[in-house]
Each structure stands twice: as C-alpha cells, then as structure tokens.
Chains A and B, each alone.
Chain A
Amino acid sequence: MAFVRSLLGAKKILSRSTTAASAAPKGFLAVYVGESQKKRYLVPISYLNQPSFQALLSKSEEEFGFDHPMGGLTIPCPEDTFINVTSRFQR
C-alpha cells in the first residue's frame, strides 16, 4: 500500500490517521473513504468535476442520501477502488 501511495504523489492526496478534523487547505476538501472503517483523504476541489468521482458520490447518495455521517463527504467504497478512480485524474 505504501508503494502504491508513493506512485500517487503524496502531495496530491494526503491521508491522515488523525481523527481530529483539521481545516482543509484552500482548494481541497475532506473525503472519508471505506466500507466500514472510514479513512480521511484530502482531495482537490477539481475532482468534483470528474464524472467518475461523481459516480462515487452517487453511490454515497444511494446509501446516505445527502447527509454524510462523517460530516465531510463520505464515500462507502473500498479504499483501493477510490485510489484506482482518483489515480487516473493525475496522469
């Protein structure tokens, strides 16, 4: 996993184990990813324009409606699915 993450470019996607919600830097927002255990990622706002990212949000809409139980956007898919989708945005 660490090897895969380094390929993604850590500066683009930041993963934090800390549960405390810190303010996102300008141009980024928090996304909580995972089927049961949720992991926090900071992603660029521009990802919201990507159809495949919007498809992930639609999955969230099916499960949670428009409420997001973590406060930040919550996407109930496996982490590696999320990483697969978002890695394509950076090539």
Chain B
Amino acid sequence: MSGSLMNLFSLCFKPFGHVCDNSEAGSGGGGGVSGGTGGEGKDGLLWFRDLGKYCGGDFSMAVIQANQVLEDQSQVESGNFGTFVGVYDGHGGPEAARYVCDHLFNHFREISAETQGVVTRETIERAFHATEEGFASIVSELWQEIPNLATVGTCCLVGVIYQNTLFVASLGDSRVVLGKKGNCGGLSAIQLSTEHNANNEDIRWELKDLHPDDPQIVVFRHGVWRVKGIIQVSRSIGDMYMKRPEFNKEPISQKFRIAEPMKRPLMSATPTILSHPLHPNDSFLIFASDGLWEHLTNEKAVEIVHNHPRAGSAKRLIKAALHEAARKREMRYSDLRKIDKKVRRHFHDDITVIVVFLNHDLISRGHINSTQDTTVSIRSALEH
C-alpha cells in the first residue's frame, strides 16, 4: 500500500476539520456586535456556525448535505496576514474538494511568505497551480489502485482580504455576491465572481476559441451544455480525465471517455481573479456553492442578509433555498427536511454558504491588529 494511498485514506477518515478560534471576545470596534462566537451546531444534515469573528468583523457559515457523501468543503482563515475564505464544491466524489481544503490555503501562505506577506494576483494564481499539481501527482501515483480519482474534481471559490483589497479567484460555478449600500439607503447586489459553466454563452465562445478544430467541444445534452457533452463546468482543480490524455483511457468509465486524441487540456485550473478595492459602502459578502444560487437570486440573497440579524445569516439563506427547492418539487418544506441524503440529491444539491460582514474600521486597522496575533481557522464540520 503506497504512501499516497495512506495519505488519501487519512483524508477520508478525518472526521472533522479543525476548529480553532482565538479571537479576543470584546475586542474594540464592531459596534452592535456581541462578543465571542455564536452557536455552532448540527441539525440533521445541516451544520452551522451562526456567528464567528474574523479579523475584519463577523462571519456566518452553514452547510447542508444532500449527496450520499458530502462533496462540499469550506474554510475561513484569518490572522495578521489578512483573511482567506474558501468554498470548494466537488463533483464525481469528495476527494478533490477535501484535498483543496487541506492544501490551497497552506500554499497561499507559503507563497505569500516569499514576498513578506504581500498578496497579489500572482500569489493566488501560484497557490492554485501548486494545488492542482499536488492533486495531479496523487491521481498519478494512485492510478493503478484508484483510477476513478481521475474523474474527481472541484470548483473553487476563494476570497482574500489583504489590507484594503478583496481578491476573488474562481474556478467553476460557485459565486460570491457583495451587498453594497446605495447612497439612497438601499442595498444592491453585485456579483464579483466569474462562472465557468458551459451554459454561459461567453464560456461557450471561450471554449470554441481555445479549440477551433473541435466542433464538439461543447455539446447540448440532457437539457444543458457540457464540455464534450460530459461536464458543465469548464474550469476546476482535478478532473484529470479532461486535462491529461494518460488519464482518459481504460479503466475509467465509458461515460468519461473522449473518442479522439486530446490535443490540449479540455478544462483549465487557471482561476479568473478579480481585485476589488474595498469601499465603506461595501456591507457584506455572500460566498456560496451553486446549490444556493440555483434557488435564490443575488438580489434575494442580499435582501435576506440585510433584513435579518447577522447571527444565523448563512443558515437562513440555506433555509430560503430549501423552501424554494420544495416549491419546485411540489412538496412541503417540512416534508423535504425529512428526506435522507442521497435521495435528497433529487431535490437539492449540497449547499455551502459563508457570509462575511465587512467592518471597515477593523480592516483598515489591520496593521495594529497584527500585534495581537489573533487567528481564526475554521472548516465546515459535517461528517463525510
């Protein structure tokens, strides 16, 4: 049994991500915020952290499971380096999302240390690249034992707050939406992430430009557009069967096979990165996997967060999505809640939500906070 196999198994048997919150209760600033952390708990297939503190203010986090094995992972890391938020929506299995959650932030920290902690687009891009290469090497080492690892991948949505800049990096179709105060007192919803899904026409054009010699690069199948008729997202960590020809052959399942020789990778692991200078009117950020956005509009999500107490924001968004999912399936929400995982997937996907409230006093005071060395490190904690 190879070392990589043991490494992979240790990932699978890790019951919970580590939860460590050293932020000082009652530290200055944050008007109206109660000190300490709001309840963390479980309710059936739901895990939630109603309210926590990160170095720039409060956050709220929740995950609901639908798949037999949870395919979502997420994390919030915050300290004198800034803040890192990650949502990883896996597909084809849980291994890629778990791998990313275990390694991407660490690569980010190592790479930013090379420039004395300064964060740029390049820092984030290199961290993604190192993570992709790390997962690829595991797929390669385990090809003889677990060839289906080649068909596992994950979307990645990362937000980094460094000084007064928010960086958003995305692969796939998770989404982050900013709730921004208008001058007239209202709140608007501004989407900050790019979605790499073949159902977006601009993505189809991008793929056709990259593969001008392949009329079948995007195929309409089962009511949706898919890359080679197989997968909807065009970017991810993992999915090696769509990136390296040596992983698109027997013994992986026929449904993942591509008939013609692969001239170049069909999917990419290069994130789209946006940098957004933070503005005092920026109120909060909603990071979520596509399972949420399938049921809620950006505007509705922002309205829900804005009109209710901060504690429990993420859980409240999930509940609103489940109400909408139940309505679509012509059933009661109370009945939907009773359905167990696996069958549950016919009603909604795994959903991860992280709401990050922006306290601009704390954010701009970052250099002062550095003397306190507060550190937050939290991962979603649903059993795998």
* Interface positions of A (Cβ within 8 A of B): 21-24, 26-30, 45, 48-49, 54, 57, 60-61, 63-69, 71-73
Contacts of B224 on A, CB cut-off 8 Å? 65, 67
Contacts of B335 on A, CB cut-off 8 Å? 26-29, 45
How many Å lie between the Cα of A30 and that of B346 in the bound state? Answer: 13
Contacts of A61 on B, CB cut-off 8 Å? 346
How many Å lie between the Cα of A48 and that of B345 in the bound state? Answer: 12
Contacts of B346 on A, CB cut-off 8 Å? 57, 60-61, 66, 68, 73
Q: Would you mind naming 11 contact pairs between A and B with Cβ atoms under 8 Å apart?
A: A22-B330, A24-B330, A24-B332, A27-B335, A29-B329, A29-B331, A30-B329, A45-B335, A67-B223, A68-B329, A68-B346
The reply on B339 being an interface residue by CB < 8 A is yes
CB neighbors of A among B316-352 (8 A): 328-332, 334-335, 338-340, 343, 345-346, 349
Interface centre among B329, B340, B345 (most CB of A within 10 A): B329
Contacts of B330 on A, CB cut-off 8 Å? 21-24, 29-30, 71-72
How many Å lie between the Cα of A70 and that of B334 in the bound state? Answer: 21
Minimum Cβ distance to chain A for residue B177 (Å): 23
The main secondary structure of chain B at its interface with chain A is loop
Q: Is the CB of B223 within 8 A of A48?
A: no
Q: How many residues of B contact A (CB 8 A)?
A: 17
Minimum Cβ distance to chain B for residue A66 (Å): 6
Contacts of B340 on A, CB cut-off 8 Å? 49
A73-B222 contact in complex given A26-B335, A66-B345, C-beta closer than 8 Å? no
How many Å lie between the Cα of A60 and that of B343 in the bound state? Answer: 12
Contacts of A28 on B, CB cut-off 8 Å? 331, 335
Which of A26, A63, A67 meets B332, CB within 8 Å?
A: A26
Minimum Cβ distance to chain B for residue A87 (Å): 21
Contacts of A49 on B, CB cut-off 8 Å? 340, 343
A64-B222 contact in complex given A28-B331, A29-B330, A72-B329, C-beta closer than 8 Å? yes
How many Å lie between the Cα of A61 and that of B346 in the bound state? Answer: 8
| Minimum CB distance partner of B221 in chain A | A65
| Minimum CB distance partner of A71 in chain B | B328
How many Å lie between the Cα of A68 and that of B222 in the bound state? Answer: 10
Interface centre among B329, B331, B339, B343 (most CB of A within 10 A): B331
A57-B223 contact in complex given A26-B332, A26-B335, A29-B330, C-beta closer than 8 Å? no
How many Å lie between the Cα of A66 and that of B330 in the bound state? Answer: 16
6 nearest CB pairs, A to B: A30-B330, A29-B331, A72-B330, A45-B335, A24-B330, A71-B328
Minimum Cβ distance to chain B for residue A55 (Å): 12
A48-B339 contact in complex given A26-B334, A66-B349, A73-B346, C-beta closer than 8 Å? yes
| Minimum CB distance partner of A30 in chain B | B330
| Minimum CB distance partner of B66 in chain A | A66
Minimum Cβ distance to chain B for residue A77 (Å): 15
Contacts of A29 on B, CB cut-off 8 Å? 329-331, 335
Minimum Cβ distance to chain A for residue B203 (Å): 18
How many Å lie between the Cα of A72 and that of B347 in the bound state? Answer: 9
Minimum Cβ distance to chain A for residue B372 (Å): 46
| Minimum CB distance partner of A46 in chain B | B338
How many Å lie between the Cα of A45 and that of B329 in the bound state? Answer: 12
Contacts of A48 on B, CB cut-off 8 Å? 339, 343
A45-B343 contact in complex given A29-B329, A67-B224, A72-B330, C-beta closer than 8 Å? no
Contacts of B328 on A, CB cut-off 8 Å? 71-72
How many Å lie between the Cα of A34 and that of B329 in the bound state? Answer: 17
Contacts of A21 on B, CB cut-off 8 Å? 330
| Minimum CB distance partner of B330 in chain A | A30
| Minimum CB distance partner of B328 in chain A | A71
Which of B223, B329, B331, B345 meets A64, CB within 8 Å?
A: B223
Contacts of A64 on B, CB cut-off 8 Å? 222-223
Contacts of A24 on B, CB cut-off 8 Å? 330-332
Contacts of A60 on B, CB cut-off 8 Å? 346
